[in-house]
């Protein structure tokens, strides 16, 4: 299946349905290489099954979101630390 490579801002809509924070401004630390980037700057792949967000440095899958059967399936095993600003 073809994937569309976009930046993390493209995943904002999906993430906003799950998290009550501005997730594109949250910072994720990659479990693979330790790089920390705001989610809006990460590589996002949108396809029919859902959204995959990858580390731009080492290509580790950081976040995988699938919506199916009336629920979200959120796989965040590639994120070591998620920093969320409390300021709007």
Output 43 or 46, the one with its CB closest to Zn ion.
43
Sequence-distant (≥ 6) Cβ neighbours of residue 14 within 8 angstroms? 50, 51, 65, 67
Burial of 13 (0-12, 13-18, 19+ CB in 10 A): exposed
Residue 81 near Zn ion by CB under 5 A: no
- By CB under 5 A, the residues from 60 to 79 that bind Zn ion are 60
Pick one of 27, 57, 74, 82: the residue that binds Zn ion (CB under 5 A): 57
Output 27 or 67, the one with its CB closest to Zn ion.
27
């Amino acid at each position: 299946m073809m994937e569309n490579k976009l930046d993390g801002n493209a995943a904002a809509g999906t993430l906003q349905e799950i998290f009550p924070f501005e997730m594109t401004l949250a910072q994720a630390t990659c479990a693979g290489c330790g790089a920390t980037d705001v989610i809006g700057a990460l590589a996002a792949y949108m396809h029919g099954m859902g959204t995959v967000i990858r580390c731009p440095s080492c290509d580790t899958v950081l976040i995988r979101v699938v919506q199916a059967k009336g629920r979200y399936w959120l796989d965040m095993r590639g994120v070591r630390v998620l920093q969320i600003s409390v300021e709007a």
